[in-house]
Structure 1
Amino acid sequence: MARTTGSHSDITGPRVRAAALQLFARHGFAAVSMRQIAREVGVQAGALYNYTPDKQTLLFELMQDHMVELLEAVRDTPGPNPVSRLKAFVRFHIAFHHDRPDAVFIAYMELRNLSAENFREIETLRRRYETVLEEILVAGVEADQFEVVDTKIATLALIAMLTGVNTWFRSEGRLSLADVQDQYWDMVRKVVAAG
């Protein structure tokens, strides 16, 4: 099958993914058709299959890319002790997710639309990210810097709290992103009773 005039795989492929990301976030995975994605990109619907075998694969790859990028980026948040590592994690999580609202929305709201196999793979990546935070909490408890009864529950609660910033924070609002990071760090510090 001939490629659409002006279509280049290194250009059109990323455009397909960007259009799908935006449309899935705006309308929901189930409501978006391959035809809509093609229309947004400016190619015929059949041409999309040069870039993805189906809509499920497209959703999975968008989620997988987000999680892989997240896991690679979180490695750059070290610190000399659990308190500084936790502070770095809080600031990182808020900033990283703020810069990717569509990817974050899809990563949390469209899990139900993944096939069982794809769900397991994304869930494995999510667990790896949660483990980063849980290991910080465990280290803090062992060093008597944190008072946390159940590090797993604390991990899930903190991630939910930090991710929630995306639902209300707007850059043009009364607080800067740095202000929000500072206030959330203060709250997290109190939750884990860090000194």
Structure 2
Amino acid sequence: MARTQGSHSDITGPRVRAAALRLFARHGYAAVSMRQIAAEVGVQAGALYNYTPDKQSLLVSLLKGHMDELLAARRAAAPPAGALAQLEAFTRFHIAFHLERPDAVFVSYMELRNLTEAHFADVEALRRAYEDELEGILRAGLAEGSLTVQDTKITTMAIIAMLTGVNTWYRDDGRLDRDDVQTIYWDMVRGMVGA
């Protein structure tokens, strides 16, 4: 099938992913058709298959893309010395990164259930790598005596859930700015780890 006149893969491909992300976040993966995505982009439904083999592949691309971007941003951040400083940096990073991507966060958490078993395992491995970084910080804090944690895995999951929850209520035009929110959440995280 010929590409639509004026269409460019380096432009249309990202537009397909952006439209799918918006629609999945708004209506849910199961409720969105490839025709709806095509209409949002302004191409014929058949043209979508120039950019993705199917809707499942598109979802996988979005979820893996989000995690790849998250992990790359973490690798690019120079870690400070000491577990407590690393935990604060992680806390602030997580909030700042995710507040910029509300649709990606929503889809990443709510649409895991729609992945095939193999795709779920791939995305889950990326999520585990991120969780392992936080758990490593907690273990280091226990070893150096700067943190008190009963169970590092449960604490890791609780911290990530709490930090990600900011996306459900935070608004840029609200009474607190992003720095205020990061500071308040850092105080709560510090309390959770006995620091």
Same fold per superposition (TM over 0.5):
yes
Please say if 1:27 is aligned against 2:33: no
Paired position in structure 1 for 2:42: 42
**In structure 1, what is the equivalent of residue 56 of structure 2?**
56
Partner of 2:71: 71
Aligned counterpart, 1:118? 119
After TM superposition, the structure 1 = structure 2 runs for residues 97-108 of structure 1, keeping only pairs within 5 Å, are 97-108=98-109
Is it true that 1:12 corresponds to 2:40 in the alignment?
A: no
One-letter amino acid of the counterpart of residue 14, structure 1: P
Deviation at 1:73, TM superposition (A): 0.8
Following TM superposition, the consecutive aligned residue runs of length 4 or more in structure 1 with deviations greater than 2 angstroms are none
Deviates more, 1:89-98 or 1:74-83: 74-83
| Residues 42-79 of structure 1 deviation map (CA, whole Å, 9 limit, x = unaligned) | 10000000000000000000000000010111121511
TM-score (structure 2 length as normaliser)? 0.98
- How far apart, CA to CA, are the structure 2 residues paired with 1:77 and 1:181? 19
**1:6 deviation in Å?**
1.1
- For 2:79 and 2:30, the matched residues in 1 are separated by 39
**AA partner of residue 192 (structure 1):** V
Map 1:139-154 to 2 at 5 A. Answer: 139-154=140-155
* Cα deviations by residue, 1:87-121 (Å, 9 ceiling, x for unpaired): 00000000000000000000000000001100000
| 8 A contact 1:77–1:89 mirrored in 2 | no
Instruction: Work out whether residues 77 and 92 of structure 1, in 8 Å CA contact, stay in contact via their aligned partners in 2.
Output: no
| Structure-1 residue corresponding to 2:174 | 173
For the residue of structure 2 that corresponds to 1:139, the secondary structure is: helix
Distance apart, 1:26 and its partner CA? 0.6
Gaps of 5+ in 2: none
Residue identity matched to 1:26: R
| Residues 25-47 of structure 1, C-alpha deviations (whole Å, 9 max, x = no match) | 01100000000000000100000
TM, length-normalised to structure 1: 0.98
Please give the alpha-carbon distance, in whole angstroms, between the structure 1 residues aligned to 2:131 and 2:51.
31
- Residues of 1 paired with 2:15 and 2:187: CA distance? 40
Contact 1:23–1:32 (CA under 8 A) maintained in structure 2: yes
Partner of 2:3: 3
Q: 1:77 to 1:112 in 2, by over 3 A?
A: farther
* Gaps in structure 1 of 5+ consecutive residues: none
Count of matched residue positions in the alignment of Structure 1 and Structure 2:
194
State how 1:128-167 maps to structure 2 within 5 Å. Answer: 128-167=129-168
Task: Say if 1:2 and 1:46 are closer, same or farther in 2 by CA, change over 3 A.
Answer: same
